[in-house]
């Protein structure tokens, strides 16, 4: 079962996402702030992280950077899920190499399709590494 | 305008007395106060204490000269509400071009040779320098005040912009969970629902979407207002833009049994546009047409080459727009209310955003309408390449 981590400070959104993702057959973890988020990611090593941006403790991007630099973690795919319309948010995501960016409110079909794409891509990368 | 105070800098007392007499005879003003500084140091001291309307410096000041004094007064910023140099006239033994040039470059207003000193000349030179200084100072103070206002406005602009970003974020967060919970219920993930429940939940979902569009419009309008909305152009097909708009509004049109007809000529050239933004324009116009077309009506979308642009039209069979309103419908928050019973939704920003987006692309947008027959909205888009002329 693929593991999905939600880092999001709005409890209602977390509950909604959890219900949706569980129904689609994923194992779901969540954290309401990036600090706890990082420790759960280190422990559970999720296959995808759904990342909110506007959060306390430096926000989503800072946590993403920490995850990317963490010695115990391999490449972790992120999907930004934000209500922010700031152009800087998109630029920053691109800078960090996060190519999946979904605006809130989102269509669940779009979110699920993006998760599938993200998982699929990540599996292919792993295979190519093995092949090399 | 009157010169009331003057500082004369000169190391020779007899020269000072002579100058005082000359000034009196020149009738510079009835109560002119003349003060004397006998050295470079004394001059600096007096100048730091108060402002004079005008300054006369003898070129020779012993160890220093008038230009040193002039430069020092600039450095000490003796009059610090303006960066304009003080009204200083330098008196020299003779007209030495190099000294004159240096004096003027250092900010002196004028230079007179001692042998040319006459009552008339002195009067003229003093008032010319004084007037010039006053004008320049006023101008400089105004410039400073404009700069302050400008900085303040830029700051306010930024604050407004940032307020709207925060507002949009704060409004969308609860909207996201509301909409997603509704979707979850509609998809049956929270148990079975009956048909009425499904119908009502669909209404809630649509209302959430409506709110979301309003918030986006609000943010776009602010970004257009503050010049922060950037477009990213690339060549694309009009067909794709229209298809996207039709697809996203098909259900709404079907609910009102409105027929959407698209007639495009074959082989239309590519347009050079920000596809997302032109889709938005197309959807806005289509929404508008659907909103004002009665059940069972028709909406026709056409396109064709118009000079060096592509012209698109959206025609509805709605109630039409009265002539007197046609000029204003693209203005912000303008909604035509024909009767009080008509229920308008939206913020009245849609057409305004359309106009601004089309303007950003260098195009035009306008309307042609007849009461009770319908309206046609036209807009033009730039071509990716100039059409090849056929002879």
Question: How does pLDDT run across B263-273, given as a tens digit for each residue?
Answer: 999 888 999 99
Identify the pLDDT of residue B389: 55
Backbone dihedral region of B298: left (phi > 0), alpha (psi from -120 to 50 degrees) or beta?
A: beta
A:20-79 residues touching chain B, CB 8 A cutoff: 20, 23, 54
Predicted pLDDT at B361: 94
Among residues B169, B183, B182, the alpha carbon closest in space to that of B215 is found at B169
The pLDDT value given to residue A121: 82
Chain A residues lying within 8 Å of B187, measured CB to CB? 23, 108
Q: How far is C-alpha A99 from the geometric centre of its chain's CA atoms? A: 11
Kindly provide the b/e burial profile for residues B82-113, where b requires at least 16 CB atoms within 10 angstroms of the residue's own CB.
bebbbbbbbbbeeeeeebbebbeebbbbbbbe
Testing the interface with B: which of A6, A10, A16 to mutate, by most B Cβ within 10 A? A16
pLDDT surpasses 70 at A83: yes
Distance to chain B for A65, nearest Cα, Å: 23
Q: Which residues of B touch A16 (CB under 8 A)?
A: 176-177, 180-181, 184
Helices marked H in B114-237 — which ranges? Answer: 119-186, 195-225
Contact A15 B177 (CB under 8 A): yes
Measured between CA atoms, how close is A82 to chain B, in angstroms?
8
| pLDDT (0 to 100) of residue B175 | 95
pLDDT given for residue B383 in this prediction: 92
Record: contact B180-A83, CB cut-off 8 A: no
The alpha-carbon gap from A131 to the nearest alpha carbon of chain B, in Å, equals 38
pTM of this structure: 0.68
pLDDT band (50, 70, 90) for residue B224: confident
Q: Cβ–Cβ of B165/A84 closer than 8 Å?
A: yes
Contact B212 A16 (CB under 8 A): no
At residue B267, the 3 state secondary structure works out as coil
Q: Which tokens belong to B347?
A: 């913020």
- Collapse the DSSP code of B315 into the 3-class scheme (helix H, G, I; strand E, B; otherwise coil) and give the result: strand
Q: Which residue among A12, A23, A104 places its CB closest to the CB of B189?
A: A23
Nearest CA to CA, how far is A16 from chain B (Å)?
A: 6
Q: Is A88 on the interface with B (CB under 8 A)?
A: no
Q: What is the DSSP letter of B370?
A: E
* pLDDT above 60 (res B114): yes
pLDDT in the model for residue B343? 52
pLDDT tens across B333-350, in order? Answer: 766 555 444 455 556 788
Average pLDDT, chain A: 90
Tell me what pLDDT residue B346 has.
Answer: 58
| Chain B residues within 8 Å of chain A (Cβ atoms) | 165, 168-169, 172-177, 179-181, 183-184, 187, 189-190, 208-209, 212, 216, 219, 230
How far away is chain A from the Cα of B349, in angstroms, using its nearest Cα? 18
Distance separating alpha carbons of residues B297 and B318, to the nearest angstrom: 8
- What is the C-alpha to C-alpha distance for residues B105 and B97, in angstroms, rounded to an integer? 12
Residue B336 pLDDT: 59
Q: What H or E segment, with its residue span, contains residue B76?
A: none
Whether the per-residue pLDDT at B83 is higher than 90: the answer is no
Average pLDDT over residues B157-165: 88
Q: B68 or B214: which carries more pLDDT confidence?
A: B68
pLDDT on residue B34? 93
Residue B102, CA distances (Å) to A103, B99, B110, B111, B258 in order: 65, 5, 11, 10, 83
**Contact state of A105 with B175 under an 8 Å Cβ cutoff:** yes
Judged by a CB distance cut-off of 8 A, whether residue A86 touches chain B is: yes
The answer on pLDDT for A132 being more than 50 is no
Tens digits of per-residue pLDDT, A6-35? Answer: 999 999 999 999 999 999 999 999 999 999
DSSP letters, B338-362, are SSTT----S-S-HHHHHHHHHHHTT
What pLDDT shows up at residue B345? 55
Nearest Cα neighbor of A54 from A89, A28, A30, A87 is A89
Q: Please indicate whether, in this complex, the C-beta atoms of A105 and B219 are within 8 angstroms of each other.
A: no
Average pLDDT estimate for B28-34: 88
pLDDT band, residue B116 (cuts 50/70/90): confident
What ipTM does this complex have? 0.87
Given this model, what pLDDT does residue B367 score? 93
Confidence of residue A128 (pLDDT cuts 50, 70, 90): very low
Chain-chain contact of A86 with B174 (C-beta, under 8 angstroms): no
Predicted local confidence at residue A124, as pLDDT: 54
Q: List pLDDT tens digits, range B296-327.
A: 999 999 999 888 899 999 999 988 888 888 88
Q: What is the pLDDT of residues B140-158, one digit of tens each?
A: 999 999 999 999 999 998 8
pLDDT confidence of residue B157? 85
Mean pLDDT of B240-246: 92
């Amino acid at each position: 079962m693929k593991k999905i981590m939600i880092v999001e400070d709005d409890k209602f959104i977390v509950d909604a996402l959890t219900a949706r993702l569980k129904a689609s057959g994923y194992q779901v973890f969540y954290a309401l702030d990036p600090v706890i988020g990082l420790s759960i990611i280190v422990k559970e090593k999720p296959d995808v992280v759904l990342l909110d941006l506007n959060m306390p403790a430096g926000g989503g991007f800072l946590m993403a950077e920490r995850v990317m630099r963490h010695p115990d973690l391999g490449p972790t795919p992120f999907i930004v899920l934000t209500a922010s319309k700031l152009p800087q948010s998109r630029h920053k995501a691109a800078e960090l190499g996060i190519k999946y960016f979904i605006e809130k409110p989102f269509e669940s079909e779009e979110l699920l399709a993006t998760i599938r794409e993200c998982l699929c891509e990540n599996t292919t990368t792993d295979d190519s590494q093995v092949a090399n | 305008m009157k010169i009331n105070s003057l500082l004369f800098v000169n190391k020779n007392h007899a020269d000072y007395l002579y100058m005082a007499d000359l000034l009196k005879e020149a009738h510079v003003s009835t109560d002119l106060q003349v003060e004397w500084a006998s050295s470079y140091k004394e001059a600096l001291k007096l100048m730091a204490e108060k402002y004079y309307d005008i300054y006369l410096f003898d070129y020779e000041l012993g160890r220093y000269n008038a230009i040193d004094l002039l430069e020092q007064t600039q450095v000490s910023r003796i009059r610090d509400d303006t960066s304009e140099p003080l009204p200083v006239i330098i008196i020299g033994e003779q007209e030495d071009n190099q000294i004159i040039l240096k004096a003027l470059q250092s900010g002196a207003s004028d230079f007179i040779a001692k042998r040319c000193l006459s009552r008339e000349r002195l009067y003229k030179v003093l008032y010319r320098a004084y007037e010039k200084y006053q004008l320049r100072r006023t101008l400089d103070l105004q410039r400073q005040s404009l700069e302050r206002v400008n900085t303040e406005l830029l700051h306010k602009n930024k604050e407004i912009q940032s307020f709207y970003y925060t507002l949009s974020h704060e409004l969308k967060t609860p909207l996201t969970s509301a909409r997603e919970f509704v979707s979850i219920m509609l998809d049956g993930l929270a148990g079975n629902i009956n048909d009425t429940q499904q119908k009502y939940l669909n209404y809630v979902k649509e209302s959430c979407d409506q709110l979301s569009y309003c918030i986006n419009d609000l943010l776009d309008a602010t970004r257009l207002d503050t010049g922060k909305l950037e477009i990213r152009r690339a060549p694309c097909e009009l067909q794709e833009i229209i298809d996207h708009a039709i697809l996203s509004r098909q259900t709404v049109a079907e609910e009102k049994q409105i027929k959407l007809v698209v007639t495009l000529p074959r082989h239309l050239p590519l347009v050079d546009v920000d596809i997302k933004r032109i889709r938005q324009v197309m959807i806005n116009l289509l929404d508008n047409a659907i909103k004002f077309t009665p059940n069972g009506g028709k909406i026709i979308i056409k396109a064709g080459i118009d000079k060096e642009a592509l012209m698109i039209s959206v025609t509805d069979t709605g109630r039409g727009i009265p002539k007197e309103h046609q000029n204003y419908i693209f203005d912000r928050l303008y909604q035509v209310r024909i009767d009080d019973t008509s229920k308008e939704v939206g913020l009245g920003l849609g057409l305004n955003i359309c106009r601004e987006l089309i303007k950003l692309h260098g195009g035009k947008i306008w309307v042609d309408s007849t009461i009770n027959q319908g309206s046609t909205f036209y807009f033009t888009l730039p071509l990716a390449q100039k059409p090849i002329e056929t002879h």
